[in-house]
Amino acid sequence: MIPRKYRVHIFLAIIALVIIFYPSFSRKPDQERLDKSSVAATEFFSLVDAGKYQESWDACSAYLKNEVEEPVWSKRLAAVRTVAGALIDRKQKDYTYTNNVGDSIPVGEYMVYHFDSQFANKDHLVETVTVMLEEDKHWRIAGYFIE
């Protein structure tokens, strides 16, 4: 058994290590990243909510544009939003900052936002929009899911 006086020192040493190393383990973006990625998500939602699906594709990242052609993107969005109906309310639930969102997606900087949303024909849906920081330092949409 460790003597009591040493237990306090060990405890303090552990606390000091947590304080020192916690920032490198936590996945929190700086305020500028949070603000700029949030603006990109908000602008994207403005386009989608207005039925401007082609323009929303224009706001997407090169990665997403390479994965989904614009006519397919627009057709899928139109179908989903027609079923859901007009947006009534959208509230941000949470967000995650990460460097890796999946095996087939390139490593980079991503913000993943989740929203609790209510539509005219669907009371409760969760919208997930993933925003990525591209090489030109602009945040663009890398994914959008509604379920």
- Helix, coil or strand: residue 35: helix
Question: Is residue 14 in some structural domain?
Answer: no
Note the pLDDT of residue 5: 52
Closest CA to 111 of 29, 48, 50: 29
Question: Is residue 22 in some structural domain?
Answer: no
- The tens-digit pLDDT sequence of the chain (147 residues) is 555 554 443 444 444 444 444 444 445 778 888 899 999 999 999 999 999 999 999 999 999 999 999 999 999 999 999 999 999 999 999 999 988 766 667 788 999 999 999 999 999 999 999 999 999 999 999 999 999
In the sheet that holds 109-119, the strands lie side by side as: 87-98, 109-119, 125-133, 139-146
Note the pLDDT of residue 16: 42
Q: Tokens standing for 12?
A: 């303090």
Question: Is residue 13 in some structural domain?
Answer: no
How many structural domains compose the chain?
A: 1
Note the pLDDT of residue 4: 55
Q: Quote the Cα angle for 134-42-46, to 5°.
A: 115
Note the pLDDT of residue 22: 42
Note the pLDDT of residue 7: 46
- From CA 124, how far away is CA 146, in angstroms rounded? 10
Question: Is residue 110 in some structural domain?
Answer: yes
- What range does the domain containing 52 cover? 29-146
Decide if 91 contacts 113 (C-beta within 8 A).
Answer: no
Write the CATH number for 113. 3.10.450.100
